[in-house]
């Protein structure tokens, strides 16, 4: 096996492409995993788990919140029931350019889990929200966001962002806390 000085991970060694080796699929998974970025936060609240789930799963209030921040939000499926199949086309300005995101609910397990999947020109986005009951009157919100690049420009952006990951984690924590407070106020 040939290893270059750029490659310090042994599973990423160059392998023959004969299709018989399991190392090709493992190496591909490792390479694609190197360019993703995950954010995770846990927030303890004084709300019961059912009430916290209803607060976070209030998609109409979420739409109003996004519109108040300047985003253009259009429902893909105009059903009123929250659940799988509900989706949005979201347009917003970020860093001086117009961006678009298509977001859909892929899992809705009341009263504990919501998963959203999205796709923009540059990134694939997966958002997971889990509510855990700590007691009858307390619960924990666990939010996880995963970003995967879809092109080389996005890959470079994520690699650069990883240099400031600690600061981004703090900002993510603050934004989720702010989001929860705004959703509770509605």
Tens digit of each residue's pLDDT (9 = 90 or more) over 33-43: 567 999 999 99
> What are the beta bridge partners of residue 36?
none
DSSP string, 48-117: -HHHHHHHHT-HHHHHHHHHHTT-EEEESS--SS-STT-EEEEEEEETTEEEEEEEEEEEEETTTEEEEE
Q: Calculate mean pLDDT across residues 140-151.
A: 95
pLDDT in tens, 166-179: 999 999 999 999 99
pTM above 0.85, yes or no: no
For 114-143, what is the mean pLDDT?
95
Identify the residue whose tokens are 């108040």. Answer: 68
Q: Which CATH architecture has domain 37-185?
A: 2-Layer Sandwich (3.30)
Please, which pLDDT band fits residue 94 given cuts at 50, 70 and 90? confident
Q: Which of 127, 110, 16, 121 is nearest to 57 (CA)?
A: 110
With H, G, I as helix, E, B as strand and everything else as coil, classify residue 124: strand
Q: Which two tokens stand for residue 141?
A: 């919100």
What residues does each domain of the chain span? 1-34, 37-185
| Per-residue confidence band for 151, with pLDDT thresholds at 50, 70 and 90 | very high
pLDDT number for residue 46: 94
Range 139-159 average pLDDT: 94
Q: How far apart are CA 129 and CA 80, in angstroms?
A: 20
Q: How confident is the model at residue 44 (pLDDT cuts 50, 70, 90)?
A: very high
3-class DSSP assignment, residue 137: coil
Q: Tell me, what DSSP letter sits at residue 35?
A: T
Cis peptide before 111 (omega within 30 of 0): yes
């Amino acid at each position: 096996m040939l290893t270059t000085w750029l490659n310090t991970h042994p599973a990423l060694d160059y392998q023959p492409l004969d299709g018989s080796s399991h190392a090709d699929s493992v190496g591909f998974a490792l390479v694609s995993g190197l360019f993703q970025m995950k954010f995770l936060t846990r927030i303890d609240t004084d709300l019961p788990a059912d009430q916290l789930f209803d607060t976070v799963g209030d998609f109409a209030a979420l739409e109003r919140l996004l519109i108040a921040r300047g985003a253009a939000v259009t429902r893909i499926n105009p059903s009123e029931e929250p659940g799988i199949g509900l989706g949005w086309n979201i347009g917003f300005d970020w860093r001086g350019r117009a961006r678009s995101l298509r977001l859909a609910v892929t899992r809705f397990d009341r009263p504990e889990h919501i998963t959203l999947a999205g796709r923009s020109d540059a990134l694939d986005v997966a958002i997971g929200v889990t509510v855990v009951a700590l007691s009858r009157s307390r619960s924990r919100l666990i939010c996880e966001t995963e970003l995967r690049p879809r092109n080389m420009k996005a890959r470079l952006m994520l690699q650069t962002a990883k240099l400031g990951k600690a600061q981004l984690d703090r900002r993510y924590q603050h934004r989720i806390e702010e989001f929860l407070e705004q959703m509770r106020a509605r």
